[in-house]
Amino acid sequence: MSAQYEQDIVAWANEQARLLRAGRFDLIDIANIAEEIEDVGKSEQRELISRMAVLLAHLLKWQYQPERRGNSWRRTIQTQRKRLLITLEETPSLKARLTEMVWWNKVWLEAVEQAIQETNLDVFPETCPWTFAEIMDENWLPEETLSGYQNRS
């Protein structure tokens, strides 16, 4: 690893961009450039997971805490839906993730963990009960749960 990369990644990135534009391929830090490019893709994937988990957690809170529903939750749901659509539009290769059960399981676990922390409820389903179409439908919200639940507080 180059010393500049370890000490000041911004200075390193600017220098690498200058070298690339100047056609000085013999001087570029190929290994670290490749790593940074891969990290950009991973960052986009993490953003997709994070946004979807926030959306799902709020849908869970909406369903399981009807007495606490409000405009703040509604705005968060709307905002996450819009930002997810923008992310998928700007990075169409991420759409493939939406068909992967392993990805959905990871997102669901994160959403449930958030919902448990924010509600003190431990009653959420083991798998997502909604379709992707429902989750992303701007006019859809889950119904109040009919089953009883236990408050953990």
Task: Give the 3-state secondary structure of residue 100.
Answer: coil
Q: What is the pTM of this model?
A: 0.81
Question: Does the residue 33 lie in any domain?
Answer: no
Q: What mean pLDDT value characterizes the chain?
A: 92
The phi and psi torsions of 45 (rounded to 5 degrees) equal -65, -40
Question: Does the residue 26 lie in any domain?
Answer: no
Domain of residue 118 covers 42-136
Q: Among 90, 151, 94, 149, which residue's Cα sits nearest to residue 120?
A: 151
For residue 19, count CB atoms less than 10 angstroms from its CB and return exposed for 0-12, middle for 13-18, buried for 19 or more. middle
Question: Does the residue 13 lie in any domain?
Answer: no
Model confidence at 122: pLDDT above 80: yes
Number of domains in the chain: 1
Question: Does the residue 70 lie in any domain?
Answer: yes
Read off the pLDDT of each residue in 142-147 and give the average, rounded to a whole number.
Answer: 65
Read off the pLDDT of each residue in 113-134 and give the average, rounded to a whole number.
Answer: 96
